[in-house]
Structure 1
Amino acid sequence: MTTSLKRIPGWVKAATTVALVLVVLLAVLRLSGLPGLKDVFGTETRDRSGPALLRSIQDISRYEAASGNFQVVVDLEKDTRFLPDAVRGTRTLYVGAGTVDAYVDLGKVGEGDVTVDEDRTSATLRLPHAALGAPALDPDRSYAVSKQRGLLDRLGDLFSDNPNGEQAVQRLAVRHIGAAARESGLTARAEKNTTDMLEGLLRSLGFKEVRVTYGR
């Protein structure tokens, strides 16, 4: 005795269709891992960016006299009150590497800051103190070691435009690198290097005595 297709409930037909779709998807995923078929299901990246445009040019009078390389391990944890970490919360372990340059702004040196004797054998220069540039994080040497997320955070990542965003830990890494640079004595090294450079330059021009001071 045969059973008429019209007597099969609608939900059974829908369940059967879904099961068939899942079977097909699983078969496709398995086939994509076979040798020779990887390129068929692979992805291709295309760079459709436009040309870079020159917006402005700025003359630089800074003498970059020293550069420091820094590395910091950032451990950033965000918790939510009244909810366990497994439900809502994140913890990211991030290694941030970057550089900070120290410079002397020679553009601030005025006519009264340079004194030369009549015989042009002695010169005195008064320069501004060395300063630190903005910390520059190196993306090639910075990376996330681990990232733990609660269930709600994982669900939010599914609908986020940037699920792997690390802006918070990157900003924190830059802040720590800047603080380390201020405590490193990098500006003192920059002033010494600037002094050595100016003394060598002026002595090559015939000056026998060169005195460089800082404090403007």
Structure 2
Amino acid sequence: MTNPVKGPTGRVPGWVKVVGSVVLLLAVLFAGLRLSVLPGLKDLFGTETRDRSGPALLESIQDISRYEAASGNFQVVVDLEKDAKFLPDAVRGSRTLYVGAGTVDAYVDLGALDGDDVRVDDDRTSATLRLPHARLGTPALDPERSYAVSKQRGLLDRLGDLFSDNPHSEQAVQKLAVRHIGDAAKESGLTGRAESNTTEMLENLLRSLGFKEVRVTYGD
């Protein structure tokens, strides 16, 4: 009687080996899934995280001659959608909802002052200072307070992520969040607040040194 699995020569057909390999692969994947969803089993095969980073190297040092006079906290909700022509969103396209939180500093540069910008009378009781207008620093995104709310991707995008070096990249929405935060800072009156704080700081400082009249102006 001939074995239904083995051929006439007693060898296992090639298609049987292929089917067996697929079944084995599915069994391994299913076992991994079960370990991830059943409580307690994941701890048995838990992973350990090690930081093997090298020491940080000092590349340069810069002297700072500006007075950080004010800082604003901002938050923006970024809704970034990418569509492909002639293809439905389920096949090709993505949409990311991202909450970006960051800060923008406003400062007054005191390093460019010269003798014409600082005038003191002979008896050293009156001082007049002319400072440049306050400026905004570069927006800094806070990773602790920024997060993705949802991600929707088409089938081709999900397949592409499998072969990507950084499948969870949020660089595009992060750049967009920084740009929106910077635009909001320009309309917030943060530079005016920085100039007021700088004026108050200089008036208190010079009066503590014996000056009775202190006048601070701003101009380019």
2:13 to 9, 17, 41: 9
Query: Is 1:74 the counterpart of 2:78 in the alignment?
Result: yes
User: Which SS does the other structure have where 2:55 is aligned?
Assistant: coil
Cα offsets for 1:41-66 (capped at 9, x unmatched): 22222211110011111100010000
Kindly report which structure 2 residues correspond to 1:56-95, keeping only aligned pairs within 5 A, or say none. Answer: 56-95=60-99
Q: Is the 8 A contact 1:32 1:41 kept in 2?
A: no
1:13 deviation in Å?
3.9
1:111 deviation in Å?
1.1
Q: Which amino acid is the alignment partner of residue 88 of structure 1?
A: R
1:28 deviation in Å?
5.6
Q: Which amino acid is the alignment partner of residue 19 of structure 2?
A: A
2:193 to 168, 184, 189: 189
Q: Is the 8 A contact 1:32 1:40 kept in 2?
A: no
d(CA) in 2 for partners of 1:24, 1:2: 32
Query: Is 1:125 the counterpart of 2:129 in the alignment?
Result: yes
d(CA) in 2 for partners of 1:36, 1:136: 40
d(CA) in 1 for partners of 2:90, 2:69: 49
Q: Which amino acid is the alignment partner of residue 186 of structure 1?
A: L
1:19 deviation in Å?
2.0
Query: Is 1:157 the counterpart of 2:161 in the alignment?
Result: yes
1:178 to 177, 182, 185: 182
* TM-score, reference length from structure 1: 0.92
Q: Which amino acid is the alignment partner of residue 104 of structure 1?
A: V
User: Which SS does the other structure have where 1:38 is aligned?
Assistant: helix
Query: Is 1:166 the counterpart of 2:182 in the alignment?
Result: no
Match for residue 204 of structure 1? 208
d(CA) in 2 for partners of 1:16, 1:27: 16
d(CA) in 2 for partners of 1:74, 1:32: 32
Q: Which amino acid is the alignment partner of residue 15 of structure 1?
A: V
d(CA) in 2 for partners of 1:32, 1:215: 63
Unaligned ranges ≥5, structure 1: none
Unaligned ranges ≥5, structure 2: none
d(CA) in 1 for partners of 2:40, 2:100: 40
Is 83-92 or 1-10 further displaced after alignment?
1-10
Paired residue total: 216
1:7 deviation in Å?
6.3
Q: Is the 8 A contact 1:79 1:89 kept in 2?
A: yes
d(CA) in 2 for partners of 1:25, 1:118: 86
Is 24-33 or 101-110 further displaced after alignment?
24-33
Mark the CA change 1:125 to 1:89 in structure 2 (over 3 Å): closer, same or farther: same
